[in-house]
Amino acid sequence: MMKYILVTGGVISGIGKGIIASSVGTILKSCGLHVTAIKIDPYINIDAGTFSPYEHGEVFVLDDGGEVDLDLGNYERFLDIRLTRDNNLTTGKIYQSVINKERRGDYLGKTVQVVPHITDAIQEWVVKQAKVPVDHDGVEPQVCVIEPSATGEQKTKPTQNSVRELRGLGLSPDLIMCRCSAVLENSVKEKISMFCHVEPEQVICVHDVSSIYRVPLLLEDQGVVSYLSKRLNMPIETRPRKMLTKWKEMSDRSDRLLEHCSIALVGKYTKFSDSYASVIKALEHSALAISHKLEVKYIDSAYLEPNALQDEPVKYHKAWQKLCSADGILVPGGFGVRGTEGKIQAVNWARKQKKPFLGVCLGMQLAVCEFARNILGWTDANSTEFDPETKHPVVIDMPEHNPGQMGGTMRLGKRRTIFRSTGSVIRKLYGDAEYVDERHRHRFEVNPDLKTHFEEKGFRFVGQDEEGERMEVIELDDHPYFVGVQYHPEFTSRPINPSPPYLGLLLASAGKLQSYLQKGCRLSPRDTYSDRSGSSSPDSEISELKLPSVSND
């Protein structure tokens, strides 16, 4: 019988319910259970596809092309699962499904109301979606962690008022997770226990820790597993949990890092780090794998443009100082013309100075534009997204894109990329695979008709789609690491299994890429996690996973 765990919050929006929900799922999964997760959002939008990154952070893309809340990225990374678009439930989706039923006549002429029709639709959706397998073994989940979102406003009521409000809805909390900067004193726990009518062991302290990998360990140390075992009436194994050993090793390694590696992240949404949440996580996973502490230098690409020297000279020089001092350069995805010339300036610097470079989605397209302008001599080369009248359209609109409608009209979700070159660096980083399946989110593509002009000059399209019509991966000859990918590899990066393009960027930036490739992309024993630290799939061994890493020679 399916068990449901509801994680709700009542103090401040954005204080970490997503991490708590992910951590609860992680410790249950470490006990051998199959766990899924559902996020419920109150907005009327059908999905997160048209949200502003400044307001909501990044849009996370799933295998099936679902554009969803970034919390689903946390669920996937913590639990190592593959979710679908229906794991993110919105008010818009529910109302749309109910209205569609009404139009079909499913309600037999009844007056359709919030209660019972909308409330029933929510319950039916959750019950149905909770049964969808999300693990690689295809087994139906046993536990579903549900996170209903706040409406986004700041909430100032203290803990006992939040609990009182919950009781007013006929619900009693089983566990109260208290976010705090330091460990809660016993007197405070007892006070919360008394005023909220729960036992002291039901008050869990979630204090600040050195890394989010420590949160599942923190919950486990306070007896959350044994409590949930009793409350859910589920026989949970008490054997040493291999998966949590892995998390402890990751946390310990994270705390011990001494060597630093800096990456310049050149984008247009740099004022709000959640806009690049998965990109930052992918960089962190790769840095951890090679035992380096990551430093991200956020650069607003608009300040790299020549006109910024007149308009904002201080910001212009600061931006260029950050770019020039970074060990590697990353240009992530994005939309719109603002800041694109600055990104092209960053690409130009990386190419000329032989700085390790990774371009993702738009970043790859702008690398194509930069090369066309400065090496092929096509000075007006551009994407038709930014200059529809350019005489050298090196990036063009895809045929299936519907410009009349914005939502859900991109090339979305998991697509296959075939490697056309056996000697490419990126193919080696993927374990010499013949193809990879990665997630996409784009409306424009490299113009395939101009491919030969680039390849004659050493700018190679080493990965293409199955038909050979879409350019998916670029590499530049005679450069330490100059790679562009049309897909978004950050969406499938995991703490124990970093994304290969990001790993390559970190390796090259730390000066370790060549030695790593010469060793056949093999691990040094001291950079692996121990055999005691099982993978994130129930009952499987860590030895089945290949964690890319290098020795510190």
Show which residues are catalytic. Answer: 361, 488, 490
Nearest by Cα to 214 from 247, 186, 263: 247
Distance CA 255, CA 210 (A): 7
Q: What angle do CA 241, 76, 462 make, to 5 degrees?
A: 120
Distance CA 28, CA 49 (A): 31
Quick one: tokens of 9? 């919050």
Q: Report whether 525 contacts 314 (CB < 8 A).
A: no
CA 171 to chain centre: 33
Quick one: tokens of 175? 């566990």
Distance CA 387, CA 174 (A): 58
Residue 298: partners with Cβ closer than 8 Å, 6 or more residues away: 265, 267, 270, 273
Are β-strands 459-464 and 411-419 bridged in parallel, bridged antiparallel, or unpaired? antiparallel
Beta strands per DSSP E along 321-384 = 328-331, 357-360, 382-383
Distance CA 144, CA 327 (A): 42
Task: For residue 190, count other CB atoms closer than 10 A to its CB.
Answer: 13
Backbone angles phi, psi at 435, to 5 degrees: -155, 165
Q: Report whether 13 contacts 216 (CB < 8 A).
A: no
- Which residue is it, tokens 């209205």? 99
Instruction: Give strand pairing partners of 463.
Output: 419, 473
